[in-house]
């Protein structure tokens, strides 16, 4: 398993980036939710908490760890965006990491805040989805595919 | 029963809708676990160092103490203790390599596992100087208190034939001496709960159980009074009713009502132990003599009127219905009987849960043969399906609170 790129680690640890977790149910129906707690603790895996055991995401995560299904995570801030595909590796229901997430939740939302579990996801694939980078990659690979010819970089400007 | 016994991998292939984690849990409960020297040394670290006072022989050795319940990667709690490894013929082995625990089956690495961390209240003493871990033992998300550590069914050799409670697991006798006193002091209980609550997110349920004491004007009156006193003491820590369960005999409606009205108790679990009427009379002769099998069942379903649908439970010791000479001869007959019991109770709003039977040396059933793993796989699958059809969930006995029930673990995705 590889170490996450530094830019992604910074995004994951940034409170202001938007973090989306996407899971699927038994019929493959996707379910995407914002996950404010999502971060990396070791630069290798992704960690986040689930508030309730009965959340759809939580049930989908259980199904994923039981039946070897993947989840997708998107982390975005400004023009930078990463997508991570991976599998849930651990569901923590007690212990120091669990306590750390609970205390953070209580810092943010007050002493009555609660969590059900902390999930650890092991990434299988990390993709830089930053639009400018993706476009550059594609244009290098297939320079004549599906580009509008009136774009500034293509059309010759005729001065009359 | 056939001689071939399918193992974890074969059953995981044959029952793809039953998670491998749950099959592993069932098998680890059936076969037990033992620790390598590395693992034993690792659980002496402050994070894991447990140390309990249950009287089980070998639980505390000169080299150290055994850890709390095992936890699988998916969060499934497995209630099995390495302290009892000598009771099993072919236990799984837990090793510790580069900071992680792994479970092995005859030399083959199966998966990474972990142990329940030591709670902060362990090592502390009550104002009377009593070690708090002797008052309440911790599971990942609950504490267990046994206010009365003696069962009077043993006085007349009418103990449940699978029972090893309050024994050292080796000898067929109740322990109870100065080192292992029968009754706990209620103030010690109050202070221990108060201390346990100081640790953030450590407990979300309190469980009480004890040996049966049927003394009193009406059988069990004294025991009910004791529980009320204990629950009221615990309740001083809370602002209202609190997540809790009492595993106790089937009381009269009046006794159950008192427990509900006079305390903050939220669920009640009179264990039926075995569904079949004749087997109950044979296996649970004490319960049968003092209450009677049909009255036990009636009182259990009557309790739903007081605690509400889904808040009354009854456990059965899965496999004892195959104990010989009177038990079922085939797995199919055994399963049919348990499913019938589950359906009956579910219809009345009672959660009927399975526990894996281990024929402890200190029990009457020592030396009996356990059913194969496949029986447990089929059982948990069937029980979960029946309860789901009746809209029942096992909130008090789920994957993180108990550690005994493969069937309730399956409810996580329902
Ligand atoms: S009631 Fe039965 S199972 Fe419970 S402690 Fe007594 S003999 Fe053991």
ipTM of the complex: 0.95
| pLDDT less than 70: residues of chain B | 1-3, 52-55, 58-62, 178
Q: How many independent structural domains does chain A possess?
A: 1
Q: How many independent structural domains does chain B possess?
A: 3
C-alpha distances in angstroms, A49 versus A30, A90, A134? Answer: 19, 12, 30
C-alpha distances in angstroms, B120 versus B123, B143, B145, B327? Answer: 8, 12, 17, 45
Residues B413 and B278 in one domain: yes
Q: Is A149 a member of any domain?
A: no
Residues B124 and B111 in one domain: no
Residue A1 has pLDDT above 70, yes or no: no
* Domain CATH for A78: 2.30.110.10
Residues B287 and B379 in one domain: yes
Residues B3 and B49 in one domain: no
3-state secondary structure of B375: helix
Residue of A nearest to B117 (CA): A95
Residues B125 and B261 in one domain: yes
Residues B374 and B280 in one domain: yes
Q: What is the model's pLDDT at position B176?
A: 78
Tell whether A59 is within 8 A of chain B (Cβ).
Answer: yes
Provide DSSP, B189-253. Answer: HHHHHHHHTTSTT--SEEEEE------SSSTTHHHHHHHHHHHHHHHTTSSS--SEEEE-----H
Residues B245 and B291 in one domain: no
Q: What is the model's pLDDT at position B1?
A: 46
Query: For A108-151, what is each residue's pLDDT tens digit?
Result: 999 999 999 999 999 999 999 999 999 999 999 999 998 899 98
Q: Is B105 a member of any domain?
A: yes
- Parent domain of B56: 32-115
Residues on chain A touching B47 (C-beta within 8 angstroms): 95-96
C-alpha distances in angstroms, B89 versus B336, B370, B406? Answer: 29, 12, 22
Is B117's CB within 8 Å of A95's CB?
A: yes
CB interface of A with B, residues 118-147, below 8 Å: none
Cα separation of B22 and B65, whole Å? Answer: 27
Mean pLDDT of A2-12: 93
DSSP state of A159: P
Q: What is the model's pLDDT at position A147?
A: 87
- Parent domain of A37: 6-130
Provide DSSP, B111-176. Answer: EEEEEPPPPTTTT-B-TTS-BGGGTEEE-SSEEEE-SB---GGGGGT-S-TT--TTS-SSSSS---
Q: Is A69 a member of any domain?
A: yes
Q: Is B25 a member of any domain?
A: no
Q: What is the model's pLDDT at position B63?
A: 79
Listed residues B115, B137, B161: the one ending a domain? B115
Measuring from atom 7 of ligand 1, which residue has the nearest CA?
B159
Residue A47 has pLDDT above 90, yes or no: yes
**Measured from the CA of B163, which atom of ligand 1 is nearest?**
8
Q: Is the pTM value of this prediction over 0.90? A: yes
Tell whether B20 is within 8 A of chain A (Cβ).
Answer: yes
């Amino acid at each position: 398993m590889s170490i996450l790129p530094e830019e992604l680690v910074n995004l994951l640890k940034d409170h202001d980036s938007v973090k989306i977790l996407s899971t699927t149910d038994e019929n493959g129906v996707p379910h995407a939710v914002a996950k404010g707690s999502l971060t990396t603790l070791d630069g290798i895996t992704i960690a986040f908490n689930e508030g309730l055991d009965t959340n759809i995401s939580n049930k989908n995560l259980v199904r994923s760890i039981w039946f070897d299904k993947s989840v997708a995570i998107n982390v975005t801030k400004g023009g930078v965006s990463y997508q991570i595909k991976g599998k849930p590796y651990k569901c923590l229901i007690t212990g120091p990491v669990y306590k750390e997430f609970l205390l953070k939740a209580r810092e943010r939302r007050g002493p009555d805040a609660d969590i059900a579990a902390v999930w650890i996801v092991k990434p299988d694939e990390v993709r830089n989805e930053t639009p400018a980078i993706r476009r550059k990659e594609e244009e290098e690979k297939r320079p004549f595919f599906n580009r509008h010819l009136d774009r500034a970089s293509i059309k010759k400007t005729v001065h009359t | 029963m056939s001689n071939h016994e399918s193992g974890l991998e074969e059953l995981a292939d044959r029952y793809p809708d039953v998670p491998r984690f749950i099959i592993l849990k069932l098998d680890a409960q059936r076969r037990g676990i033992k620790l390598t020297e590395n693992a034993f040394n690792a659980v002496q670290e402050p994070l894991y160092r447990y140390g309990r006072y249950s009287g089980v022989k070998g639980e505390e050795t000169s080299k150290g103490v055994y850890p709390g319940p095992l936890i699988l990667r998916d969060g499934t709690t497995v209630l099995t203790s390495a302290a009892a490894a000598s009771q099993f013929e072919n236990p799984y082995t837990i090793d510790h390599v580069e900071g992680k625990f792994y479970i092995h089956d005859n030399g083959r690495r199966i998966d990474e596992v972990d142990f329940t961390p030591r709670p902060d209240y362990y090592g502390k003493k009550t104002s009377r100087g009593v070690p708090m871990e002797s008052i309440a033992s911790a599971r990942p998300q609950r504490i267990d208190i046994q206010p009365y550590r003696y069962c009077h069914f043993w006085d007349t050799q009418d103990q449940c034939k699978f029972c090893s409670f309050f024994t050292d697991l080796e000898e067929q006798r109740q322990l109870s001496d100065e080192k292992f006193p029968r009754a706990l002091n209620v103030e010690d209980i109050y202070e221990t709960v108060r201390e346990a609550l100081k640790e953030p997110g450590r407990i979300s349920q309190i469980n009480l159980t004890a040996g049966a004491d049927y003394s009193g004007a009406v059988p069990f009156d004294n025991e009910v009074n004791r529980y009320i006193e204990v629950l009221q003491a615990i309740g001083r820590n809370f602002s209202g009713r609190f997540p809790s369960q009492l595993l106790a005999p089937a009381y009269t409606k009046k006794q159950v009502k008192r427990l509900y009205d006079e305390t903050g108790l939220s669920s009640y679990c009179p264990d039926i132990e075995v569904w079949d009427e004749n087997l109950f009379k044979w296996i649970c002769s004490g319960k049968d003599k003092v209450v009677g099998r049909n009255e036990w069942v009636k009182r259990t379903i009557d309790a739903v009127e007081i605690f509400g649908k889904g808040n009354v439970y009854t456990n059965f010791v899965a496999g004892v219905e195959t104990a010989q000479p009177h038990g079922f001869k085939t797995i199919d007959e055994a399963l049919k009987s348990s499913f019938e019991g589950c359906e009956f109770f579910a219809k009345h709003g009672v959660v009927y849960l399975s526990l894996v039977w281990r024929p402890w040396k200190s029990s009457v059933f020592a030396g009996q043969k356990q059913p194969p793993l496949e029986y447990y796989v089929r059982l948990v699958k069937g029980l979960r399906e029946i309860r789901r059809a009746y809209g029942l969930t096992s909130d008090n006995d789920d994957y993180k609170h108990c550690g005994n029930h493969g069937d309730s673990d399956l409810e996580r995705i329902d």
